[in-house]
């Protein structure tokens, strides 16, 4: 009788031990199944494209809509630094023109008894000019491809009609000059370089019309597109200053607006 009980108990222990080992084995197997697998090439490509599109959207939101959220992640600088950089291109271009015709301090407009110097007028113009590009509005990313750490992005949008941009700025004359005509402004500037003073008048009118009066430049009749490259650094795709310049300058085309009567002169 004792032998039978022992045998039964040993069998029970063996069964329990086998069950424990089986459960332990299942646990190990389950753990192996849930372990993270290496990312496949297809999954990585998809993840890269998602990130590249997100970063391209952040960039274009700023360049063509003036929305600065997340910009530092793609430019490595804050929005004010980026705007200052974009303005500098236009400041340098206008400054070179005036320096080529004399001393910068010799170019100014006299308004209400005060002198408004070329340097300040040029800065106001450049700020309004860049902000007009940021007023373009709607765009659409139409193509995006990634390869390694690089992404190529194409976006379409309706650009500013550059040949019509200056036409309405005369409406700012009263606000800018109190109604003074060009002859009076030129005479009071005491500068014999009429061409340069006329240019200064135009820059001032532009900054008042599109800046102070917050007008919006008319668009070209057809859409255009811009293609640019981004490079992944860390977790984001980024652009350099040359790319910023290129996207900015694509915001205008040498076309008349559809509503501009001067378009018939093309």
Residue 214's domain comprises: 56-253
What's the pLDDT score for residue 262? 54
The answer on pLDDT for 163 being more than 60 is yes
What's the pLDDT score for residue 44? 87
Give 233's pLDDT tier (boundaries 50, 70, 90): very high
Q: Look at residue 204 and tell me if it is in a domain.
A: yes
As a whole number, mean pLDDT of residues 58-70 equals 98
Q: Look at residue 17 and tell me if it is in a domain.
A: no
Number of structural domains, the chain?
1
Q: Look at residue 175 and tell me if it is in a domain.
A: yes
Q: Look at residue 245 and tell me if it is in a domain.
A: yes
Q: Is the separation of the CB atoms in 64 and 157 below 8 Å? A: yes
Give 258's pLDDT tier (boundaries 50, 70, 90): confident
Choice between 168 and 6, residue whose per-residue pLDDT is larger: 168
Q: Look at residue 237 and tell me if it is in a domain.
A: yes
Average pLDDT along the chain: 88
Condensed to tens digits (0 to 9), the pLDDT of residues 89-120 reads 999 999 999 999 999 999 999 998 999 999 99
Nearest Cα residue to 59 out of 250, 246, 238, 234: 238
Give 37's pLDDT tier (boundaries 50, 70, 90): low
Q: Look at residue 30 and tell me if it is in a domain.
A: no
Q: Look at residue 145 and tell me if it is in a domain.
A: yes
Q: Look at residue 146 and tell me if it is in a domain.
A: yes
Look at the pTM and tell me if it is higher than 0.85.
Answer: no
What's the pLDDT score for residue 220? 97
């Amino acid at each position: 009788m004792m032998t039978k009980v022992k045998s039964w108990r040993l069998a029970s222990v063996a069964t329990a031990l086998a069950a424990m080992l089986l459960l332990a084995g299942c646990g190990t197997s389950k753990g192996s199944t849930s372990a993270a697998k290496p990312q496949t090439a297809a999954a990585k490509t998809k993840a890269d494209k998602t990130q590249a599109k997100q970063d391209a959207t952040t960039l274009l939101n700023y360049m063509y809509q003036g929305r600065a959220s997340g910009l530092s992640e793609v430019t490595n600088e804050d929005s004010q630094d980026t705007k200052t950089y974009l303005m500098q291109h236009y400041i340098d271009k206008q400054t070179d023109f005036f320096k080529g015709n004399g001393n910068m301090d010799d170019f100014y407009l006299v308004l209400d008894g005060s002198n408004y110097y070329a340097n300040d007028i040029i800065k106001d113009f450049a700020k309004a000019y860049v902000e007009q590009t940021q007023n373009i509005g709607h765009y659409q990313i139409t193509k995006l491809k990634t390869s390694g750490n690089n992404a190529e992005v194409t976006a379409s949008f309706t650009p500013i009609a550059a040949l019509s941009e200056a036409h309405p700025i005369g409406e700012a004359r009263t606000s800018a000059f109190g109604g003074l005509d060009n002859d009076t402004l030129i005479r009071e500037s005491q500068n014999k370089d009429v061409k340069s003073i006329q240019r200064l008048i135009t820059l001032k009118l532009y900054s008042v019309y599109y800046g102070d009066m917050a007008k919006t430049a008319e668009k070209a009749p057809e859409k255009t597109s811009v293609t640019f490259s981004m490079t992944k650094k860390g977790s984001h795709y980024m652009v350099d200053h040359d790319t910023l310049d290129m996207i900015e300058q694509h915001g205008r085309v040498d076309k008349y607006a559809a509503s501009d009567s001067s378009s018939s002169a093309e």
